[in-house]
């Protein structure tokens, strides 16, 4: 008889992440994780003191997955910022449960928007925007915050089934937000 494979902390986090994607993070518990791993609850409770810690780790993994998804540009759209925005929206369409876990739960506690919109968190996005729009750091921050609010609003509505995905509408809306922010920047009226 062969020995059962040892259940690792990483395996537990991966299982919890898959549960969040498939049926929602509210279904992450010791029983569902152990069922996913085909083991008892003992390894889950051995590696994590609380199931809350499993959810926190799954949220972190989900956040990394989201960033990789959004920044994996394939040249589908004419502008890199438009593509990032559309990938953000498409993530909400394709990964509704995960999007809600990442952004509509108590695990998303980044404080205010300006605390999250930093070079540390979004350096690669700011770099693209600075090149594309020919702006400096502060201008990129101002533009991005305006574009992000529109993008996140659309994505949230889609993730919560409050609107039907229409690619052409999303492209037009994001383009309007981008060019509107550019216009306001040139007029000196962008926040």
DSSP string, 145-172: HHHHHHHHHHHHHHHTTSS---HHHHHH
Task: Chunk the chain into consecutive blocks of 10 residues (it has 191) and report each block's average pLDDT, rounded to whole numbers.
Answer: 74 98 96 96 94 96 92 88 94 97 78 61 74 85 89 97 97 95 85 66
For the chain, what are the domain ranges? Answer: 1-71, 78-191
In this prediction the pTM is 0.88
pLDDT digits (tens, 9 = 90+) for 50-105: 999 999 999 999 999 998 899 888 889 988 889 999 999 999 999 999 999 999 98
Query: How many CB atoms lie under 10 A from the CB of residue 66?
Result: 20
Instruction: Report yes or no: 147 and 178 within 8 Å, Cβ to Cβ.
Output: yes
Superfamily in which the 1-71 domain is placed by CATH: Tetracycline Repressor, domain 2 (1.10.357.10)
């Amino acid at each position: 008889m062969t020995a059962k494979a040892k259940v690792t902390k990483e395996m537990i986090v991966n299982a919890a992440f898959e549960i969040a994607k498939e049926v929602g993070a509210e279904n992450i518990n010791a029983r569902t994780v152990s069922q996913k791993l085909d083991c008892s609850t003992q390894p889950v409770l051995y590696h994590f003191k609380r199931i809350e810690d499993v959810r926190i780790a799954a949220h972190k993994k989900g956040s990394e997955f989201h960033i990789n998804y959004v920044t994996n540009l394939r040249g589908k759209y004419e502008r890199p910022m438009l593509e990032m925005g559309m990938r953000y929206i498409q993530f909400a369409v394709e990964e509704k449960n995960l999007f809600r876990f990442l952004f509509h739960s108590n695990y998303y506690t980044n404080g205010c928007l300006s605390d999250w919109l930093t070079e540390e968190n979004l350096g690669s996005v700011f770099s693209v925007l600075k090149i594309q729009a020919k702006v400096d750091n502060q201008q990129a921050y101002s533009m991005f915050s305006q574009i992000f609010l529109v993008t996140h609003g659309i994505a949230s509505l889609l993730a919560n089934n409050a609107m039907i995905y229409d690619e052409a509408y999303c492209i037009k809306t994001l383009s309007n937000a981008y060019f509107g922010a550019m216009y306001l920047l040139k007029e000196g009226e962008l926040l």
